[in-house]
Amino acid sequence: MNHPWLDNSVKRPWLAVFLVLLVTVLFSWGAKNLYFRGDFRIFFSADNPQMQAFERMQAQFNKSDNMLVAVLPAEGDVFTPEVLTVVKKLTDAAWQTPYSLRVDSITNFQHTEAQEDDLLVEDLLLDVADISAEKISKIKEVVLNEPALLKRLVSADGGMTAVNITVQLPEKDQNKEVADVYSSVAALTEQLAKEHPTVSFKLAGVIALNNAFTAEAQHDASALVPLMFVTIIVLLALMLRSALAALAVVIIIILTISSTLGLAGWAGIFLSTATVNVPTLVMTLAVADSVHLIASCQFLMRQGQSKPDAIRQAMLINTMPVFITSATTAVGFLTLNFSEVPILRDFGNMVAVGVMLAWLLTILLLPALLALLPISAGHDSKAFGGMDRLAEFVIRRPGPILIGTVLLTLAGGYLTLQNRVNDEAVKYFSTQTEYRQAVDLLEEKLGGVSLMDFAIESGGESGVNDPAFIAAIDAFGDYLQTLPEVTHVSRISDTYKRLNKSMHGDDPAFYRLPESQELAAQYLLMYEMSLPFGLDLSNQLDMDKSATKVGITMQNLGSKEMTAIEDKTIAWFRQQYPQYSIEASSTALMFAHIGERNMASMMQSLPLAAVLISALLVLSLRSWKLGTISLLPNMIPALLGFGVWQLLSGEINLGLSVVASMSLGIIVDDTVHFLAKYQHARQDGRNAEDAVRYAFHSVGWALVVTTVVLVIGFSVLLLSDFRLNSDMGLLTGIILLIALIVDFLFLPAVLLKLDRKAYSPAPAATHPNGV
């Protein structure tokens, strides 16, 4: 068999190293084009229907990107001179926030009062010098009875208030723009906290959410990647019992990561909360190919072969299984192209490219590195004896093992079906993060901060002044307030009622809707002309007054509960008022839908991945029987893993929805290597029992090494405070560990039962002896 590159790599290793390095430098140069994005929009494609609805609403009404600053007095009372002074200072200074569009608080709430025949519209607190016991009492009475403020900007007990800063980002460099807004508000609140130590602040809102995405991604990139790198080096040195062999693997890893990131840069892919973990996963997956080749080489050297012959033999024996394991892993990650989430598609493509680059570098560069480095042959350890004993255990008890596996799989399948899809953007973050703590506090004090907006079209210009339309909005608001999940409703009809009352000498009996369209239009015009710059009604009304936005604040709900509320409320409105059109949108609603949509798309891709991977196995093993047998140990781990997850959590979020397809490609690795060694022994004329013994002895320890590295690699993601990453790492690690157990117990037991037919020994030239 002629393998010119392999022969030259062993004979002229420096030339091989130079040529490979030249190509990887060209690949890696593209990394200069990489940039980072952390805004929530990266989770949604342009054709996502919820994203399109959100953009339409953003264009029709004021932008809703915001910073919500919670103000918490230590004494638990907002209505004190000091706290009101702080709120006033914060409100005034917040107008200087970059890209600010408006600022809303209890101090600048535009309160209306009647003064004889005039309508007075002014801030509740114009000047802190006016603060007196009487003024505070009046502010408290207005605030705690004003529907626009209660449970939106102030808690029912008056123990917390909030200042809402609405911004309109130019969207030229969102990462920088978000950072500018967040840092400006953070600096302002830090200064106020120093001046008023009895008052503390928490930051939430869409801008804080975007900043949290960025902060967690940067933390993962700076902390987890180096940690994983060091961990792999230590593990390899210990398990291969050769520091120089570990060094060869590290070189492969470094070149693979740099080339992967470089090619991503050339392709125009940006880094995100998902793709920053590509180096961690690529270095983890890249280890497997190298470990199998090095372990085989060391085994052959211990059998007395020279290092050049051992390198060549190890490469010849492992070329097929190493390629197949890399290809199946890449196929698993490529199925993420069916995902509804663009950054998950990028993540899948980058890892798939990285895996195939790792295979290419292993085949082209590793032989040369092994030839250059004075690696030792290591020595047979107790681990090999352990593999031999495990083989005997399985050979003696294939029946009970099969029965036990079937029972466990049925139980796992049942538990898997009990999991439920649930996506809450808030719960993407650990309770240790500042953003999560802020949102949890706001939910406790205000009853919730999840938003849903409804754009309702009247059907004509100035239609919002039509008493019938206003009445419909008011009735819709009343209905929304009956829902137990809803904590606050914002609707233009409350403003009309307040204006009607003020224009009738503040008589409470007139807190009702205007009786004619002309009167409603006059009230609205008079009110808008009295409003200061930045505090108009463009957040509730569109330009031609043909539509209004009704906003609700809810408890933090799961995706199914939130989409159920969307369906229920829209159905109610359409049934009651079919003459008007309605559409719902919000960031929380977008995330609620994306999990459901992504799970549906990934479930469609799973059968395709299984078919492609099975076809690769059948072609590589050249055996329908072994290819079919391999399906079982490849499907069982995911069922058992998701069953275990049901016991741990029971909720499938966006990150977990891709684990089944992704892990399927990785799981195949152990199966392929075991079957390849088993088939090699069978083709040499050994019976099924001896072939199982051979597979355990020759490749069992390498499978343990690669699985340990993979499990630890994915488990490192547990240190991430971003739950999409940590949950994905935990579940994938569980599935990979189960896969090793299944391949060590169930797979050989199946082979012993179903592959009893004798093989004819193959010609030695075609099937060389070795591991």
Round to whole Å and give the CA distance between 278 and 257.
8
Contact 585, 453 (CB under 8 A): yes
Joined together, the tokens standing for residue 278 give: 């590509």
- Could you list the mean pLDDT of each consecutive 10-residue stretch along the chain, which spans 771 residues? 65 86 94 87 89 90 86 93 95 94 92 77 87 92 91 92 92 86 96 95 92 85 82 77 81 93 94 85 81 80 83 82 84 87 92 93 87 73 75 92 93 90 79 89 86 93 94 96 93 92 88 92 89 86 93 87 94 96 92 82 76 78 77 86 91 79 79 85 88 88 83 84 85 92 92 74 42 43
Please provide residue 552's backbone torsions phi and psi, each rounded to the nearest 5 degrees. Answer: -125, 145
Between strands 651-652 and 547-554, the pairing is unpaired
What pLDDT sits at residue 378?
A: 62
Answering whether pTM is above 0.95, one says no
Is the domain spanning 10-40+211-418+591-754 CATH 1.20.1640.10? The answer is yes
Coil/strand/helix, residue 460: coil
What pLDDT sits at residue 760?
A: 54
Question: Largest alpha-carbon pair distance within the chain?
Answer: 109
Distance between first and last Cα of the chain: 18
Residue 727, C-beta contacts closer than 8 angstroms, at least 6 positions apart: 649, 653, 655, 656
What's the length of the chain?
A: 771
Joined together, the tokens standing for residue 503 give: 């224009």
What pLDDT sits at residue 114?
A: 76
Contact 200, 22 (CB under 8 A): no
What pLDDT sits at residue 647?
A: 93
What pLDDT sits at residue 758?
A: 62
| DSSP labels, 485-531 | TEEEEE-HHHHHHHHHHHTTTT-GGG-S--SSHHHHHHHHHHHHHHS
E-strand ranges in 60-210 read 66-73, 100-104, 110-115, 118-123, 161-167, 199-204
Round to whole Å and give the CA distance between 597 and 414.
23
What pLDDT sits at residue 770?
A: 40
Please provide residue 355's backbone torsions phi and psi, each rounded to the nearest 5 degrees. Answer: -65, -45
Round to whole Å and give the CA distance between 291 and 702.
7
Joined together, the tokens standing for residue 444 give: 């406790």
Between strands 420-421 and 651-652, the pairing is parallel
Cβ burial, residue 401 (10 Å; 0-12/13-18/19+): buried
What pLDDT sits at residue 1?
A: 41
Contact 687, 695 (CB under 8 A): no
Angle at CA of residue 687, ends 685 and 693, nearest 5°: 110
Joined together, the tokens standing for residue 549 give: 């936005």
Joined together, the tokens standing for residue 623 give: 């055996």
- Locate CATH 1.20.1640.10 in the chain: 10-40+211-418+591-754
Helix (H), strand (E) at residue 601? helix 587-621
Contact 699, 292 (CB under 8 A): yes
Joined together, the tokens standing for residue 436 give: 């999560």
Round to whole Å and give the CA distance between 473 and 463.
12
Joined together, the tokens standing for residue 441 give: 């506090």
Round to whole Å and give the CA distance between 548 and 458.
8
